[in-house]
């Protein structure tokens, strides 16, 4: 159980109906933290329960619980060890219904109550909720949502929780410069932070930031992709088995990205035409790629196993899968349709982070990442190979076989052929195709 407690200068702002001045609550808790030099929940509970100025009342009638701002800019509950839930009210307050902090139950003995979980409504949470709504309105992925919210929280924390509307281009430049100079982050990380802050100001606050010309930019390195030769690919795949082998073989045999592989649905596999449709890839684009003939039989067996598992879920009263955007409302039975199920589902059902409904999501991509990392070591490969290395190897081996670079560009889903041209470093062009004068 949890204790719901409030420090003595927070209590006057408490209302049993849940109408709390959370700005005052946050300010009071911050003053308490600064005055004690500690942010320990147990110490806070012990100090308040020992205060002679207050008496306790049962929290069963309490409709809201205080929260304290966490170090990450969010909110956290003040919890202690025990088996009851209590709140504190001033000892000398009149017990009148008209009093903003009065309670008819004040002065009674402590009565255990169920834990209450109510998120404090602070300016920070209101702003983050607005950002979250705007992100979902524009149909950004949940990964982008988490990344943007994280950067916005770090930005507010860096300036002592000042509202971004009170900040501007100078503070944004200082934050981004600190990331590069003191944090020594990669260029892509700094660019992601900039994108999150631009989204906050332009899309949520309606403010156009000036040109950020004084930002110290993290230098973006131009690296060549790691590529495995065909013998190394065979050694790597021989160290895998079961579903991990099938997924790694699909990535190498089709050139799809890791997340495109784990999000593959049954309806997008066409065995008759030996084609796979990749939906909502990078940049929200669809594309077609080939289905290797050698994977038809193992993929057919895997889909049959998924169908059996889906029937068991349906019999247990579940069987739904996540559908993008408004498809779930438009096609009411599609979420239970076998065609929409993931080819590589998770071993257990889980709660959808947005809807809260229990569903069977796709396999966690880290499962394959760990398996490939272990297989690389077991195969004796000294290159820093990952799942994405299989995609690099797919493109390189196609170009080595004489396929047109435009064809490879379409299969990879690159918007610009210049991105695909980086794989020409292994062809008879560039450094790989030049005979050193020392060998002449």
Catalytic, 330? Answer no
Q: Which of 359, 360, 391, 392 is catalytic?
A: 391
388 is a catalytic site residue: yes
Q: Is 414 a catalytic residue?
A: yes
Say if residues 127 and 162 touch (Cβ distance below 8 Å).
no
Residue with tokens 């988490």: 146
Which of these is catalytic: 257, 265, 287, 362?
257
- Closest-CA residue to 394 (of 208, 251, 225, 205): 251
Pairwise CA distance, residues 106 & 55, whole Å: 7
Instruction: Give the active site residue among 55, 161, 243, 282.
Output: 282
- Whether 406 sits among the annotated catalytic residues: the reply is no
Three-state SS string over the chain comes to: CCCCCCCCCCHHHCCCCCCCCHHHHHHHHHHHHHHHCCCCHHHHHHHHHCCCCEEEEEHHHCCCCCEEECCCCCEEECCCCCCCCEEEEECCCCCCCCCCCCCCCCCCCCCCCCCCCCCCCCHHHHHHHHHHHHHHHCCCCHHHHHHHHHHHHHHHHHCCCCCHHHCCHHHHHHHHHHHHHCCCCCHHHHHHHHHHHHHHHHHHCCCCCCCCCCCCCCCCCCCCCCCCCHHHHHHHHHCCCHHHHHHHHHHHHHCCCHHHHHCCEHHHEECCCCEEEECCCCCCCCEEEECCHHHHHHHHHHHHHHHHHHHHHHHCCCCCCCCCCCHHHHCCCHHHCHHHCECCECCCCEECCCCCCEECCECCHHHHHHHHHHHHHHCCCCCCCCHHHHHHHHHHHHHHCCCCHHHHHHHHCCCCHHHHHHHHHHCCCHHHHCCCHHHC
Which pair of tokens denotes residue 273? 């035409």
* Active site annotation includes 101: no
Question: Is residue 282 annotated as part of the catalytic site, yes or no?
Answer: yes
Residues recognised as catalytic? 257, 282, 388, 391, 414, 423
């Amino acid at each position: 159980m949890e204790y719901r407690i409030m420090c003595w200068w927070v209590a006057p702002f408490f209302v049993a109906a849940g109408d709390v001045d959370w700005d005052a609550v946050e300010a009071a808790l911050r003053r308490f933290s600064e005055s004690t030099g500690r942010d320990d929940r147990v110490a806070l509970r012990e100090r308040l329960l020992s205060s002679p100025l207050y008496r306790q009342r049962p929290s069963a009638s309490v409709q809201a619980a205080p929260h304290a701002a966490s170090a990450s800019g969010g909110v956290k509950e003040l919890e202690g060890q025990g088996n009851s839930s209590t709140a504190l009210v001033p000892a000398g307050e009149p017990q009148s219904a008209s009093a903003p902090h009065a309670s008819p139950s004040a002065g009674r003995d402590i009565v255990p109550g169920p834990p209450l979980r109510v998120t404090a409504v602070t300016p920070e949470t209101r702003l983050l909720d607005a950002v979250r709504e705007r992100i979902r309105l524009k149909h950004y992925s949940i990964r982008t949502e988490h990344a943007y919210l994280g950067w916005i929280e770090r930005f507010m924390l860096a300036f002592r929780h000042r509202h971004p509307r009170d900040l501007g281009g100078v503070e944004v430049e200082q934050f981004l410069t600190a990331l590069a100079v003191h944090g020594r982050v990669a260029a892509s990380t700094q660019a992601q932070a900039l994108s999150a802050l631009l989204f906050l100001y332009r899309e949520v606050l309606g403010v156009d930031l000036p040109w950020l010309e004084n930002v110290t930019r993290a230098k973006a390195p131009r690296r060549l992709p790691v590529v495995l030769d065909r013998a190394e690919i065979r050694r790597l795949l021989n160290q895998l088995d079961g579903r991990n082998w099938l997924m790694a073989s699909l990535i190498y045999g089709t050139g799809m990205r890791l997340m495109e592989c784990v999000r593959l649905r049954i309806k997008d596999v066409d065995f008759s035409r030996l084609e796979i449709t990749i939906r909502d890839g990078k940049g929200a684009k669809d594309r077609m790629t080939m289905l290797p003939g050698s994977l038809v039989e193992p993929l057919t067996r895997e889909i049959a196993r998924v169908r059996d598992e889906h029937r068991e879920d349906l019999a247990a009263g579940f069987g739904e899968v996540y559908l993008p955007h408004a498809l779930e409302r438009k096609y009411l039975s599609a979420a239970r349709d076998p065609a929409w199920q993931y080819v590589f589902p998770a071993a257990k059902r889980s709660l959808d982070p947005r809807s809260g409904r229990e569903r069977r999501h796709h396999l966690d991509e880290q499962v394959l990442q760990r398996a490939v990392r272990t297989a690389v070591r077991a195969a004796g490969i000294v290159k820093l190979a990952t799942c994405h290395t299989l995609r690099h190897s797919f493109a390189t081996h196609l170009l080595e076989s004489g396929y047109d670079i435009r064809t490879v560009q379409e299969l990879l889903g690159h918007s610009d052929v210049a991105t695909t041209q980086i794989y020409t470093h292994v062809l008879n062009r560039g450094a790989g195709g030049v005979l050193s004068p020392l060998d002449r």
